[in-house]
Amino acid sequence: MSKNIYNKIDLDEKFPLVRVETFRENKKFTAKKAKTYDEEKYVKNKINTNKVEVLSLSNDKKTKKNIYLKYGDFYSEYYATGLMKMLKLRLGDKIVYKSSKKNSHYVYIGPISSLKNYDKIHLKLKQIGLAGYDITIK
């Protein structure tokens, strides 16, 4: 570049670095709209609150009823199967299974017969970031 250009843009010939800044005119960003399936529009929000059971806090005592941890409702079987495979790797094959109905898939961990076993499983699930499950007792 010529000396005139250096002088015009206020640039040093020996240290020719330029700082480029951009300014956004529109600070809002709108993503494309996502497609919502008809089945997803009518999600059932049912919670059974009729009966609450309290289990003994004794770690060694076996209960007559078993604890099940439930993940779901998954619309796609693909996601339920992926979660089930990952849980089987971490927890073992014997206590992880999947239940499927039309467009409604669940992954269960159980039966868990004591609170001591539940604590062990809960800690493993918490370590891998999967502590958001429903607890059912059967």
Answer whether 83's CB lies under 8 Å from 77's CB: no
CATH of the domain at 124: 3.30.70.1070
**75 falls within a domain:** yes
The tens place of each residue's pLDDT in the chain, 138 residues long, gives: 778 877 887 777 766 666 666 766 766 766 677 777 777 666 655 555 566 566 555 555 555 778 888 988 888 888 888 888 988 888 877 788 888 888 888 888 888 888 888 888 888 888 888 888 888 887
**94 falls within a domain:** yes
Q: How far is 134 from 136, CA to CA, in rounded Å?
A: 7
Q: What is the DSSP string of 20-72?
A: -----S-----PPPPP--HHHHT-------S--------SSPPPSS-EEEEEE
**19 falls within a domain:** no
Predicted local distance difference test score (pLDDT) of residue 43: 61
**21 falls within a domain:** no
**112 falls within a domain:** yes
Q: Domain tally for the chain?
A: 1
Q: Which residue has tokens 């494309």?
A: 32
Q: How far is CA 95 from CA 52, 64, 75, 99, 117, in A?
A: 24, 17, 22, 13, 11
Task: For helices 115-127 and 77-91, give the axis angle rounded to 10 degrees.
Answer: 110
Q: How far is 100 from 14, CA to CA, in rounded Å?
A: 72
Domain that holds residue 103: 38-137
Q: How far is 105 from 75, CA to CA, in rounded Å?
A: 6
**13 falls within a domain:** no
**29 falls within a domain:** no
**22 falls within a domain:** no
